[in-house]
């Protein structure tokens, strides 16, 4: 946009998304500021507005009431790294080898920050990255994905987190981690305002991922959980040794819920800051979780499954879009949406073209405008089976030294308190590549293949009448299942073609 006519035309396009805006007003309108917020292991049921019996989430409740409440919002994967990749790229993570936690993204991927840079945005990332090391030398750190600044961690973190600023040496920052990230975000916003630029912030909290550590004021809110929970024990990470320990469920949930409430409060601090700065009306806040509830957080769930499963409890997460200027009153939608939709939505919102490669998400701008009643294409999920590709002949996609993490965390893994990443070249496609737990979801039916339920093989559910996935219709509706499986296989073929690196050539 180096010439005035092009600039004015782009502003007119952007302005058409604002209620009551006219072309004459376009030259005075600014594109919306954008903030993406994500809880770590925060499942669909864990908000008060979704009916949780004990959790207190007043800020998310208010956002759900005033914005667009996405009641059928999904993470692209039932685990974290792949879902985060889908946000950054708009593509399913198997296309670029981010198969599961601690598998990195690939440097050739086009990020949402790169797209928004073309629209004039300054971008910052704050919190959990988990798509590769955040150190300066990493070819997949936030800066390599076109974020202008970052205060980030390779993986998850607790109170008093150890974070890296712009790839520098990790430093310990004392305080509640969600509040620390919001303080950094507001500082970033203030600097963007001084530069008179629209801002794009990605805030990925470390909460409520285990091990759990709540503040006293928040723990006090959950002292009266049912006594029966003290008789149940769950395994989680010791805050002292970093190794697995067992604790009674009541104390574990008290700590977990305290983390969620602290995260909720920090989001409230962000919204108040935006109000004080006169920015809230034209700032789009989008909150979601990255996957379902883990075993240590399960309490009387209504959805089937948990984190790492393709059932609703593994992939259905809270989803809210709050944008007063574009969504002037509260609405609830049952239209299926997924984290891969974020990039296409923001690209359309800011008048930017999509990358010339397969994109799995769709723009939700018609949904935001109230013009979408159904999703035009199914959502596909796939947990790639990695065991057959990890062998002596596998060629690393990135120098293993560059994949070594530096930001320590409480949980020990493979004898270390840091995390290393991996990604491999995959030049040829084999029949084994099509295996792994997978699912396809249209506007009514969901087909799960090789799930972790007692009925192995194919399971078909009518989510409109059976949202808890209790009744397998595979025998009574074989034609529907066959059609969905064919669509899923065709999609897998496209994904595997991308995995070979064909999109980069």
What does the block give as tokens for 219?
């723990």
Span 120-152, pLDDT tens digits: 999 999 999 999 999 999 999 999 999 999 999
Instruction: Give CA separation, 286 vs 271, 319, 435, in Å.
Output: 12, 7, 33
Are 255 and 328 part of one and the same domain? Answer: yes
Q: Indicate which CATH number applies to the domain containing 144.
A: 3.40.720.10
What residue numbers bound the domain in which 420 lies?
382-504
Give how many domains the chain has, as a whole number.
Answer: 2
Average pLDDT over every residue of 322-343: 98
* 17: in domain: no
Looking at the structure, do residues 314 and 386 belong to the same domain, yes or no? no
When pLDDT is averaged across residues 82-93 and rounded to a whole number, the result is: 98
Residue 329 in this model has a pLDDT that exceeds 80: yes
The helix or strand, by DSSP H or E, that contains position 208, with its residue range, turns out to be: none
Report the pLDDT value the prediction gives residue 12, as an integer from 0 to 100: 40
| CATH classification at residue 428 | 3.30.1120.10
d(CA 345, CA 366): 9
* 391 and 357 co-located in one domain: no
Residue 3 reports pLDDT greater than 50: no
The whole-number pLDDT of residue 453 equals: 82
Q: Retrieve residue 207's tokens.
A: 């909460």
Q: Which residues have CB under 8 Å from 145's CB, separation 6+? A: 88, 105, 109, 111, 113, 114, 131
Q: Which helix (H) or strand (E) holds 463?
A: none
Measured CA distances, 137 to 143, 144, 202, 403 (Å): 10, 9, 21, 9
Q: Are 98 and 104 within 8 A, CB to CB?
A: yes
Residues 203 and 286 in one domain: yes
Q: Is the pLDDT of residue 497 over 60?
A: yes
- Output the average pLDDT for the chain: 94
Q: What 8-state DSSP symbol labels residue 353?
A: P
Kindly indicate the confidence band of residue 233, based on its pLDDT and cuts at 50, 70 and 90. Answer: very high
Q: Do 357 and 452 lie in a common domain?
A: no
Residues 56 and 174 in one domain: yes
Is the same domain home to 406 and 369? no
Q: In whole angstroms, how large is the CA radius of gyration of the chain?
A: 22
- Across residues 31-41, what is the average pLDDT? 98
Closest CA to 167 of 206, 129, 112, 199: 129
Which pLDDT score, from 0 to 100, does residue 6 have? Answer: 39
Does the CA dihedral 468-470-475-476 come out positive or negative? negative
Does an H or E element contain 271, and which?
helix 249-276
- Residues forming a β-bridge with 331: 68
Q: Are residues 358 and 489 in the same domain?
A: no
Local structure of residue 79 (DSSP, 8 states): S
Residue 447 gets which letter from DSSP?
E
Q: Kindly report the number of other CB atoms within 10 A of residue 367's CB atom.
A: 21
* Per-residue model confidence as pLDDT tens digits over 234-245: 999 999 999 999
Tokens at residue 366, please? 């018609």
Beta strands in 415-489 (DSSP E): 438-441, 445-449, 458-462
189, 231: one domain: yes
Question: For the chain, what's the residue count?
Answer: 505
pLDDT in tens, 262-303: 999 999 999 999 999 999 999 999 999 999 999 999 999 999
pLDDT at 219 over 80: yes
Buried-state track 398-420, b at ≥16 Cβ within 10 A, e below 16: beeebbbbbbbbbbeeeeeebbb
Burial (Cβ within 10 Å: 0-12, 13-18, ≥19) of residue 476: exposed
Distances (CA, A) of 6 to 9, 175, 262, 265, 353: 5, 46, 45, 42, 15
Predicted confidence (pLDDT) at residue 254 exceeds the cutoff of 50: yes
**Does position 26 have pLDDT exceeding 50, yes or no?**
no
Cα separations (Å) of 49 from 71, 101, 319, 322, 416? 10, 29, 11, 15, 39
Q: For residues 73-80, give the mean pLDDT.
A: 98
Residue 10, in any domain of the structure: no
Q: Tell me what pLDDT residue 2 has.
A: 43
Q: How many CB atoms lie within 10 A of CB 174?
A: 8
| Residue at 21 is within a domain | no
* In the predicted structure, residue 443 carries a pLDDT above the cut 70: yes
- Domain end: 349, 374, 399, which one? 374
Name the nearest CA neighbour of 293 among 76, 42, 73.
Answer: 42
Confidence of residue 10 (pLDDT cuts 50, 70, 90): very low
CA distance linking residue 463 with residue 310, whole number of Å: 14
Q: Say yes or no: 347 and 466 in one domain.
A: no
Q: Which of 339, 374, 409 is the last residue of a domain?
A: 374
Give the model's pLDDT for residue 14.
42
Clarify whether residues 330 and 404 are in a common domain. Answer: no
Last residue of a domain, one of 374, 399, 426: 374
Spatial distance between the Cα atoms of 401 and 389, rounded to a whole number of angstroms: 20
In a domain, 449, yes or no: yes
Confidence of residue 20 (pLDDT cuts 50, 70, 90): very low
Q: How many CA atoms lie within 13 A of 107 on its CB side?
A: 13
Residue 324 forms part of a structural domain: yes
| Residue 362 within any structural domain of the chain | yes
Provide, for the chain, the percentages of residues in helix, strand and coil under a 3-state DSSP scheme, each rounded to the nearest 5.
Answer: 35, 20, 50
Q: Where are the beta strands (DSSP E) in 100-237?
A: 122-128, 149-153, 162-165, 171-172, 199-204, 233-237
Residue 234 lies in a domain: yes
How large is the average pLDDT for residues 353-364? 98
- At residue 376, does pLDDT exceed 50? yes
- Does residue 5 lie within any of the structural domains? no
- Mean pLDDT over 331-339 rounds to 98
Whether 96 and 241 share a structural domain: yes
């Amino acid at each position: 946009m180096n010439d005035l006519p092009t600039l004015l035309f782009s502003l007119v396009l952007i302005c058409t998304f604002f209620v009551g805006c006219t072309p004459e007003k376009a030259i005075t309108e600014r594109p919306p500021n954008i903030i993406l917020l994500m809880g770590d292991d925060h499942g669909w049921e864990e908000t008060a507005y979704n009916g949780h019996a004990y959790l207190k989430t007043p800020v998310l409740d208010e956002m759900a009431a005033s914005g667009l409440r996405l009641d059928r919002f999904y993470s692209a994967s039932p685990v974290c790294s792949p879902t985060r990749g889908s946000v950054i790229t708009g593509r399913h993570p198997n296309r670029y080898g981010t198969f599961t936690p601690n598998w990195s993204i690939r440097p050739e991927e086009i990020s949402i920050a790169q797209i928004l840079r073309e629209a004039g945005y300054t971008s910052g990332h704050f919190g959990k990255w988990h798509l590769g090391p955040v150190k300066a030398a990493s070819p997949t750190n936030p800066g390599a994905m076109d974020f202008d600044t970052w205060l980030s961690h390779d993986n998850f973190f607790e109170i008093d987190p150890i974070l890296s600023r712009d790839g520098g040496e990790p430093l310990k920052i004392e305080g509640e981690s969600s509040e620390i990230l919001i303080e950094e975000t507001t500082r970033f916003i203030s600097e963007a305002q001084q530069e008179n630029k629209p801002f794009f912030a990605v805030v990925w909290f470390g909460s409520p991922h285990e091990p759990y550590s709540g503040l006293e004021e928040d723990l006090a809110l959950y002292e009266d959980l049912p006594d029966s929970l003290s008789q149940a024990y769950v395994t989680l990470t010791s805050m002292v040794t970093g190794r697995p320990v067992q604790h009674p469920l009541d104390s574990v949930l008290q700590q977990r819920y305290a983390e969620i409430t602290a995260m909720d409060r920090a989001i409230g601090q962000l919204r108040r800051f935006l109000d004080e700065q006169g920015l809230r009306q034209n700032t789009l806040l989008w909150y979601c979780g990255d996957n379902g509830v883990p075993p240590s957080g399960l309490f009387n769930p209504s959805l089937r499954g948990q984190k790492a499963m393709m059932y609703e409890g593994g992939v259905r997460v809270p989803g809210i879009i709050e944008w007063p200027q574009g969504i002037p009153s509260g609405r609830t939608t049952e239209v299926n949406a997924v984290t891969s939709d974020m990039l296409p939505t923001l690209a359309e919102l800011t008048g930017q073209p999509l990358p010339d490669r397969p994109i799995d998400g769709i723009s939700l701008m018609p949904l935001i405008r109230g013009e979408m009643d159904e999703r035009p294409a199914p959502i596909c999920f796939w947990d790639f089976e990695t065991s057959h590709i990890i062998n002596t002949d596998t060629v690393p996609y990135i120098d293993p030294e560059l994949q070594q993490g530096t930001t320590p965390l409480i949980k020990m893994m493979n004898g270390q308190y840091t995390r290393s990443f991996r990604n491999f070249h995959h030049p040829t496609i084999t029949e084994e590549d099509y295996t792994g737990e997978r699912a396809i979801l249209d506007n009514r039916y969901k087909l799960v293949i090789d799930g972790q339920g007692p009925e192995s093989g194919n399971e078909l559910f009518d989510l409109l009448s059976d949202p808890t996935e209790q009744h397998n219709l595979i025998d009574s509706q074989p034609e529907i299942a066959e059609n969905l499986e064919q669509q899923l296989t065709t999609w897998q073929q496209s994904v595997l073609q991308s995995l070979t690196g064909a999109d980069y050539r």
